[in-house]
């Protein structure tokens, strides 16, 4: 594995509710089928929502086992405050992954400032986080449901 970042990508006409969202909930499924909601930071760009994560994380393992996922807009604490949208996940590779990593770094540096972003990234590397996988999630536009 390299030293790139991990990304999750979402596509859909239902994506407008994720505009301007910093945080979303990503629901993946455990071996027994029970859902696991993980709050993640996101970035919407050209009709897609991107999320970085460590490829060794449990959400990546769950997606590899079962590509069906749901996402929902959330507040900063991870509390859902929008409509759930279902989708299917796949790994991204090559140039597409590299382009998304560059975009995320640029946007995060702009949002958080270069120094803060660099410190947070450095602390992540010290903690052993390797961000190398890229996951794409295609949403099912007609499947939005209200939050519970």
What CATH number did the domain enclosing 42 receive?
A: 2.30.110.10
Q: Is residue 142 part of a domain?
A: no
Amino acid 66: pLDDT: 95
Domain of 123?
7-136
Amino acid 2: pLDDT: 40
DSSP code of residue 21: -
Q: Is residue 2 part of a domain?
A: no
pTM: 0.76
Domain count, the chain: 1
Q: If we measure between CA atoms, which residue out of 58, 60, 71 comes closest to residue 25? A: 71
Q: What is the pLDDT of residues 91-111, one digit of tens each?
A: 777 898 888 878 877 877 787
3-state secondary structure 105-142: HHHHHHHHCHHHHHHHHHHHHHCCCCCCCEEEEEECHH
Q: Is residue 143 part of a domain?
A: no
């Amino acid at each position: 594995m390299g030293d790139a970042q991990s990304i999750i990508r979402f596509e859909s006409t239902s994506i407008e509710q994720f505009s301007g969202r910093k945080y979303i909930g990503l629901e993946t499924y455990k071996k027994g089928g029970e859902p696991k909601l993980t709050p993640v930071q996101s970035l919407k760009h050209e009709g897609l929502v991107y999320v970085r994560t460590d490829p060794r994380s449990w959400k990546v393992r769950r997606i590899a086992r079962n590509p069906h996922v749901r996402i929902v807009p959330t507040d900063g604490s991870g509390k859902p405050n929008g409509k759930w949208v279902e989708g299917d996940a796949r790994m991204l590779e090559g140039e597409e992954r590299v382009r998304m990593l560059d975009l995320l770094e640029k946007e995060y540096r702009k949002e958080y400032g270069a120094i803060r972003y660099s410190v947070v990234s450095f602390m992540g590397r010290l903690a052993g986080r390797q961000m190398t996988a890229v996951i794409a999630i295609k949403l099912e536009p007609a499947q939005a449901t209200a939050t519970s």
